Amino acid sequence: MDELKNARESINKIDKEMAELFCQRMNAVEKIAQYKKERGLPILDSAREEEVIIKNSAYVEDETLRSYYVNFLRNNMEISRNYQNMLNSGLRVAFSGVEGAFAQVAAEKIFENCNSVPYDSFKSAYEAVLKGECDCVLLPLENSYNGDVGQVMDIAFFGSLYINGVYDIAVTQNLLTKKGVSVDDVKEVISHPQALGQCAGFIKRMGYSISESSNTAVAAKFVAESDRNDIAAIGSEKAAEIYGLEIAERAINDSNSNTTRFAVFSRVAKNSNEKDKQFIMMFTVKNESGCLGSALSVIGENGFNLRALKSRPTKELIWDYYFYAEGEGNINTPKGEKMIKDLLKVCSHVKVVGSYEKEISL
């Protein structure tokens, strides 16, 4: 009996110590939640969690106990995530469009329990973060089928927000109609130019005329409120649900791998991380012979690889361009600092918009 009593007393003592450590741990979790909120980072980081489990489980030498300790760690992480989600449940994420836009669908995939806030343009959504109305903004960078979103690149070049994460979201376009309207009844389709381009083959086969809208969800709202029964919108399933439309035809995009890359912009850059493997940079070269070639050489000579290089007019001077570059490598290193320093010798302006570990597919 004394043995049982002693064992229970030992457990009680350990539980008390664990309670104190638990409170310390949750205080640290709270700081992490605040850090992620300020920088527009998602709560879940699966790669980081697995890394911690592998590292920390090695501290338990008893193989029988190790599997139980792994479960203990997983439970701790789930508790930490839930606490962070509670703390950041009021995270305000700006997006361009109205309720049901693909950007809203993406925002709610990236940030659990977020408050997604619609704005009427990319610019106004971006400025909402600058003004402090929202914590971060989710904007599209590129579609795998229809190419770049140049307007967002321009906003990033002239703006002051940082990109702390890039996400690939599979996009399924649907033909949305009023109830009782079939695909054969439709004469005209309305949507954002990108969506119309992604579904060009289907539209041509059906013989529909097209009209452009500022957003896929705006198009869905227009169709729902219209008196006409010969029009349809191209948009998301969520938009159909919100505006009471039917999906007359699913997955009408020409490519099965239709994907849009979204970037999260926030006011604060995340701290440099040795795991960062990608970066986005913008620069303008001096108006001198060979300067662009010299800039590209500088990037390569410092051990960095460019996966994308695109030019856009600055719109300030005629025939004046800036370059949008996506690179591979950790720019937050002495090598990266040297590259920036060398670039400034041949460039009139260099701006690192953000760095991140890798693109995340959702």
State the DSSP H helix or E strand holding residue 194, giving kind and residue range, or none if neither. Answer: helix 193-198
Which amino acid, 226?
S
Q: Higher-confidence residue: 16 or 287? A: 16
When pLDDT is averaged across residues 220-228 and rounded to a whole number, the result is 95
Q: What is the DSSP string of 324-348?
A: EEEEES-SSSHHHHHHHHHHHHHEE
Q: What is the domain range of residue 218?
A: 174-252
pLDDT score of 270: 79
Domain membership of residue 331 (yes or no) is no
Domain membership of residue 306 (yes or no) is no
Last residue of a domain, one of 87, 113, 144: 87
pLDDT score of 269: 85
φ, ψ of residue 278 to 5 degrees: the values are: -140, 155
Q: What's 227's domain CATH number?
A: 3.40.190.10
Mean pLDDT, the chain, as a whole number? 90
Residue pLDDT, tens place only, 176-199: 999 999 999 999 999 989 899 989
Percent of all residues in the chain with a pLDDT value above 70, rounded to a whole number: 99
To the nearest 5 percent, what fractions of the chain are helix, strand and coil? 45, 25, 30
CA distance 347 to 228: 55
pLDDT score of 1: 61
Residue pLDDT, tens place only, 137-162: 999 998 776 677 889 999 999 999 99
Domain membership of residue 212 (yes or no) is yes
Closest CA to 220 of 95, 122, 98, 108: 98
Domain membership of residue 69 (yes or no) is yes
Closest CA to 350 of 338, 360, 361: 338
When pLDDT is averaged across residues 10-21 and rounded to a whole number, the result is 90
Q: What's 75's domain CATH number?
A: 1.20.59
Last residue of a domain, one of 252, 274, 295: 252
Tokens matching residue 35: 């850090």
Domain membership of residue 235 (yes or no) is yes
When pLDDT is averaged across residues 221-250 and rounded to a whole number, the result is 95
What letter would DSSP give residue 206? H
CA distance 66 to 330: 35
Domain membership of residue 229 (yes or no) is yes
pLDDT score of 305: 94
Note the pTM of the prediction, 2 decimals.
0.77
Phi-psi region of 253 (alpha: psi -120 to 50; beta: other; left: phi over 0): beta
Secondary structure (3-state) at 304: coil
Last residue of a domain, one of 87, 120, 154: 87
Tokens matching residue 241: 């649900």
When pLDDT is averaged across residues 270-292 and rounded to a whole number, the result is 85
Residue pair 259/101 in contact (Cβ under 8 Å)? The answer is no
Domain count across the chain? 2
Please compute Rg for the chain using Cα positions.
Answer: 25
Please work out, in degrees rounded to the nearest 5, the angle formed at the alpha carbon of residue 253 by the alpha carbons of 247 and 255.
145
Domain membership of residue 10 (yes or no) is yes
User: In angstroms, what CA-CA distances link 157 with 5, 152, 246, 256, 301?
Assistant: 69, 9, 40, 32, 25
Domain membership of residue 127 (yes or no) is no
pLDDT score of 91: 87
